[in-house]
Amino acid sequence: MTATEFLIGKERRVRRLGFGAMHLSTEPGPARDSSLAVARRAVELGVTLVDTAHLYGGGANEQLLAEALHPYPDELLVTTKVGVARTGPDGEWRLDGRPAVLRDQVEQALRRLRVERIELLQLHRIDPETPLADQLGTLRELRDEGKVGRIGLSEVTADELDRARRIVDVASVQNRYNLLDREHEPVLAACEAAGIAFLPWRPVAWGESGQRSEVAAVAAEAGATPSQIALAWLLGHSPVVLPIPGTARIAHLEENLAAEGVELSPAQRERLDGLCESPGDGTAP
């Protein structure tokens, strides 16, 4: 039986199947009301890991989650990401890991999420123009000040993860990864060896017609949907994988969370293992 929980940072227990809030609309009106309902339904259904970021609406997504869920249940961990800012020449989004920017985004997140400490803060991307030691050193200082509980990374290579771990304790990695896209398999292997949580973004994706047909065939055999098969495969692939599928619809949310009850046979898993488009060399886009 696949384990349904994981200890992030070896101490914070969460349900492995979480929720990504990126797709929730923050514009006033019916769409926002629906977003609030989806977030609340996720927690009602037992989700204890919700993912957001400063990039998602410049903090509007964080604000939406606070409106929907605050005061938060003790078991709920809302993780956010910093390090992408509107500091380009014409005000466009760009990677920005300068210490002052990271500090400001963390302070904004604390206010928007209505918390005194962000239990898991992830660096959205490594800024190539700022020394890694400065970026992670700032996050470490924020942790030491009690404003951050644990530190994670996003979209890193195995080498970058190794270098980061020499600077700070890394509790999580959030990379693109799914049944058909396993470019970051070396990163997942490194996370598994170290007991680091691996949060795959875009956990459900579809390839060529033959691959889609094979997934659909396994879904029919298992009495599940193709999306549930993709999520069930992830949960069984490694004990450190914590998928965070996102949706703006309650029906889709419920479908995703039901994937936890889908059991794949060894033969089905072997067929799915063979569908990989990109086995991975550890490089990030």
pLDDT digits (tens, 9 = 90+) for 141-165: 999 999 999 999 999 999 999 999 9
- Inter-helix orientation angle 185-194/158-165, to 10°: 30
Q: Would you please indicate which residues are annotated as catalytic (active-site) residues? A: 56
Residue 165 to residue 167: CA distance in whole angstroms: 5
b (16+ CB within 10 A) / e for 124-163: bbbbeebebeebbebbbebbeeebbbbbbbbbbbbebbee
Task: Write out pLDDT tens, residues 189-238.
Answer: 999 999 999 999 999 987 676 688 999 999 999 999 999 999 999 999 99
Residue 45 has a CB neighbour count (10 Å cut-off) of 16
The answer to whether residues 97 and 83 touch, using CB atoms and an 8 Å cutoff, is yes
Burial class (CB in 10 A: 0-12, 13-18, 19+), 1: exposed
Supply the pLDDT for residue 58. Answer: 96
Confidence bin at 276 (pLDDT 50/70/90): confident
Average pLDDT of the residues of the chain: 94
What is the structure's pLDDT at 284?
36
What distance, in Å, lies between the first and last C-alpha atoms of the chain?
35
Per residue in 41-78, pLDDT tens? Answer: 999 999 999 999 999 999 999 999 999 999 999 999 99
pLDDT at 279: 58
Which domains occur in the chain, in start order?
13-207+234-249 (3.20.20.100)
Q: 89 vs 159, which has greater pLDDT? A: 159
Q: What is the mean pLDDT of the segment spanning 10-27?
A: 97
The region, left, alpha or beta by phi > 0 then psi within -120 to 50, assigned to residue 240 is alpha
Q: What burial class does residue 115 get, using C-beta atoms within 10 Å of its C-beta: 0-12 exposed, 13-18 middle, 19+ buried? A: middle
pLDDT in tens, 97-118: 999 999 999 999 999 999 999 9
Quote the DSSP letter at residue 153: E
102 Cβ contact partners less than 8 Å away, ≥ 6 residues apart: 82, 83, 123, 135, 138, 139, 142
